[in-house]
Amino acid sequence: MNIPTIKTKRLILRGFREADLDAYAEMCADTEVMRYIGKGKVLSRAESWRSMAAIIGHWYLRGYGLWAVEEQQSGEMIGRIGCWKPEGWIGLEVGWSLRRAFWGKGFATEAGKASMDFAFTKLQQSHVISLIRPDNTASRKVAEKLGEKLQGETEVSGGEAVIYGISREEWGKVRS
């Protein structure tokens, strides 16, 4: 499978490479980054590698997935963002996670917009969600900047999550 590459103003969304492991493992070992992801636990380097492999496998099984996000200016891999729907998920999710050094720069919103466009235009989704831990105010703000509205609550990976969502019609209004 050929994972598509998307360029935004400052970022490149691309498939993961083995060379991304150092940066990805650093992100996955950061307690502040991981406190809202999965079970809220940091990952070892080996677990980070398996996580990258699962992300790549998701592309092969579903035809879409999370991209490695590269900052164009520096060439650094800064995180993962994209479309995600593992078995048992309640809907197609646009999700994001960035290395802490790249927080607060608008990168999650910028790549999130590209991911939403991909979900609605290439994947022809009628509705997209983002699952966020209730106390993750930064991610809730990103979801709101993407035009998503709070739509309910659920449980994910053994913890509470709020569901933000947006329809294709609403996205069309947000994007125009």
Residue 95 dihedral angles phi and psi, to the nearest 5° = -125, 160
Measured at the CA of 116, the angle between CA 110 and CA 119, to 5 degrees, comes to 145
Chain center to CA of 53? 16
Residue type at position 158 = G
Q: Please name every residue paired with 7 in a beta bridge, in sequence order, or none if there are none.
A: 12
For tokens 């490149």, the residue is 12
Helix, coil or strand: residue 131? strand
Mean of the per-residue pLDDT values of the chain: 96
Residue type at position 47 = E
pLDDT at 176 over 80: no
The torsion angle over the Cα atoms of residues 110, 88, 1 and 175, rounded to 10 degrees, is -30
For the stretch 131-149, pLDDT in tens is 999 999 999 999 999 999 9
